Amino acid sequence: MNSPSPKTRANAFLPLWYAFAAFLCLGYIVLPFFYTLRSATFVDGAFTLSVFQEFFGNPNHVQVALNSLKLGVGTVLVCGTLGTVLALYMTFLAGKHKMILHILLLSPMMIPGVITVIAFIQLYGESGLVTKALQMLLNLSSAPFTFKGFGAILFVIAYTQYVYFYLNVYVALKYLDYSQIEAARSLGASWGRVFKDVILPVIKPALLLSTILTFASGVSSFSGPNLIGGYKVLSTQIVLSKVNNHLEMASVQAVVMFAISISVMLLVRWYGRKTSGVQADRVATRVVPLRANPLLVLGARVVVIAQIVLILLPIAAIVYLSFMTTGSIMQEIFPHSFTLENYQTIFAKPRVLQPLLNSLEMSALAVVIGLLITVPSAYIIVRNRTKLSGVMRFLIMLPSALPASLIAINLINAFAQENIFAFNVPLIGSYIILPIAYTVMALPMLLSSNEVAIGSLHHTMEEASKSLGAGPLRTFVSVVIPNTVPGILAGGVLMFIRMIGEYTMSALLYGIHNRPISISIVTNLQEYETGISLAYGVLVILVCYVALALIFKLDKNRFV
C-alpha cells in the first residue's frame, strides 16, 4: 500500500498556490501602490517632495482635502444615526411586514451609486419633480432650495450608505440578551440608560466597523460630488489632474486620500481595542416585543416611513421618466409624453447597446477571475490556519483599505508602461484593465464570503463521506460542492451587482474598447440625451434585481 494520503497530495499543491497568489497580489495590489508613491516623489528621475509641497502649499488643494474629510465625518454621523435608529426599530418594534421592510431598507445597496445620484437630481435638482411640485404647492417664484454642494451630496450619500450601519447593527442586535434588558428595566433603568448600559456595549463592535466602512466611502465618494457639483473633493480633483495629464499630482492626491482614510481606520480600531466592548454570547436569544414610550415609537415610525419613501421615490421617478421623450423631460413641468423610443434606441443601435454589454461582460469576468482566485484561497485559509495562509489572507484583503481612486491610480502608474507582471504588455487603454480593477476591488468581499461558505462545511462532513466509501472526487461532487457552491455563487452575484455600475475606477481607466455603462449614463445626461441615460439606468436596476432574486434563491439566509 503506497498510495499517498490526501494530505501529502494537498501539500504538494499548497506552495504552488502560495506562489501564484503572491505573484498576483504583489503584481496587482502591492507594487502598483509603490509605483504611485514613486510617481508622487520622483520627478525626472530624481527624488523630490516638490509635488507634495505644491499640494500642501496651495490653500485650494488643502481645502479640497479638508472637504473630503468633512464629507467622511458627515457621512458617518448621518448614516450612524439613521442606520442605528432603523436597526433598533426593526429589532424591537417592527411587527407586521418585517421581512419586506427589511428587504426594502437593504435595497439602496443594490443600485449603483451613479444611478441613484442621477435619480436624485431628477427629483430634487433645479428642475426636479419634487422641487417643481413644492414650488407650485407653495406658490414660489423660484425653486425652494438649490440641490448643490455639501448638503445635497451628504443627502445622497446618507441615503445609500446607511445600509452598512443598519445591517451590521441589526445583525449584532440578534445576539442581545433580552433578559438583560428586562433585568435593567426591573431595576428601574430608563430606556436611555438601557440603551447606554445594555444595548450599546453589544452593538459597539458593529458601530465601529460601520464607522470605518462609511467613513472610507464618504471620503472617497465620487459620483455624488462629480454629478451634483458645488463641492470639490479629492476624488473629483484626482480625475481632473489625470485628465490634465498631471499624473504626479493625481498620485499625491490619491496618497493623501489614502492617508486620511487609513488613519481614521487605525484610530477607530485603536479606540475599539482600548475600550473593548462586551463579548456577547454568540447565541441568538428569544425576541420579545418591547413596550416602549409611545412617543418614541411614533418618532421611529416616522423615520422608517420617510426612509421607505426616500428609497422608493428615486426608483419610481427613474422608471417613469425613462418612458418619457427627452424633449418632454426637458420642457414639461411634469412630463407626460409616453414613449418607448429610449429603449428602442438602445436595443436598435449596437453602438448604444455596447456599453451595457461591456459592463455585463466585464463585471462577470471580474467575478469569475475573483472566484478562481478566492475559492481555493478561502479553502486553504479555512482548512490550514498557518502563518503563510495568514499572510495570503492579509494580501488579498488589502484592497478593502484602498479607496477606489487609489486602486485606479495605482494601476495607471504600474501598467501605463511595460510591466513584468503583465508580461510586458502595457495594459492601460486595453480592454482588460477595467476587469482587472474590478477584480482587485472585489477580492476582499469575495474572499470573506467564500470563507463563510466554506467554513460552514465542517471537515467531518468530508470525512464522513470518505468513511462511507466515497473517494475524493465523489466527496467533492456530492458533498463539498452542493454545500458550499450556493454561498459562493451568492457572494459572486452580489459582487457582480456592485461592479456593474462601478463609476469611480471606470472614470479613470476606461477607453474606447471598454466604455462601461456608468460612463455612458453620465455622458448621455451631459449631452442632453436624458431619456437614454435614464433607460440605461432602468436596465441596470433590472439586471441588479434579477441578480438579487438569484441570491435569495441561492442563499436565503444571507441578509437575515
Rounded to whole angstroms, the Cα distance separating 355 from 24 reads 28
- Please, what is the minimum distance in Å from the beta carbon of residue 1 to other proteins? 4
Give the contact letters, 483-522, x = binds to other proteins (CB under 8 A), - = no.
Answer: x---------------------------------------
- Please, what is the minimum distance in Å from the beta carbon of residue 250 to other proteins? 49
Q: Which of 6, 57, 390, 511 binds other proteins (CB under 8 A)?
A: 6
- Please, what is the minimum distance in Å from the beta carbon of residue 482 to other proteins? 4
Which C-beta is closer to other proteins: that of 428 or that of 485? Answer: 485
Span interacting with other proteins, options 3-11, 119-127, 158-166, 252-260, rule CB under 8 A: 3-11
Give residues 430-489 in contact with other proteins (rule: CB under 8 A).
Answer: 458, 460-461, 463-471, 474, 478-479, 482-483
Size of the site for other proteins (CB under 8 A): 22
**Parallel, antiparallel or unpaired: strands 46-47 and 42-43:** antiparallel
Contact (CB, 8 A) for 17 and 377 = yes
Short-list 240, 250, 80, CA closest to 169: 80
Which C-beta is closer to other proteins: that of 458 or that of 513? Answer: 458
Which C-beta is closer to other proteins: that of 301 or that of 474? Answer: 474
Short-list 153, 127, 302, CA closest to 227: 153
Contacts of 4 (CB under 8 A, 6+ apart): none
CB atoms within 10 A of CB 285: 14
Contacts of 512 (CB under 8 A, 6+ apart): none
Which C-beta is closer to other proteins: that of 131 or that of 465? Answer: 465
Which C-beta is closer to other proteins: that of 232 or that of 466? Answer: 466
Q: How far is CA 29 from the centre of its chain?
A: 18
Short-list 392, 412, 399, CA closest to 366: 399
- Please, what is the minimum distance in Å from the beta carbon of residue 57 to other proteins? 57
- Please, what is the minimum distance in Å from the beta carbon of residue 247 to other proteins? 50
Q: Is 557 one of the binding residues for other proteins (CB under 8 A)?
A: no
At how many degrees (to 10) do helices 59-88 and 149-173 cross? 40
Which C-beta is closer to other proteins: that of 196 or that of 553? Answer: 553
Rounded to whole angstroms, the Cα distance separating 458 from 462 reads 8
Which C-beta is closer to other proteins: that of 141 or that of 460? Answer: 460
Name beta bridge partners: 43: 46
Interface residues with other proteins (CB under 8 A) are: 1-3, 5-6, 458, 460-461, 463-471, 474, 478-479, 482-483
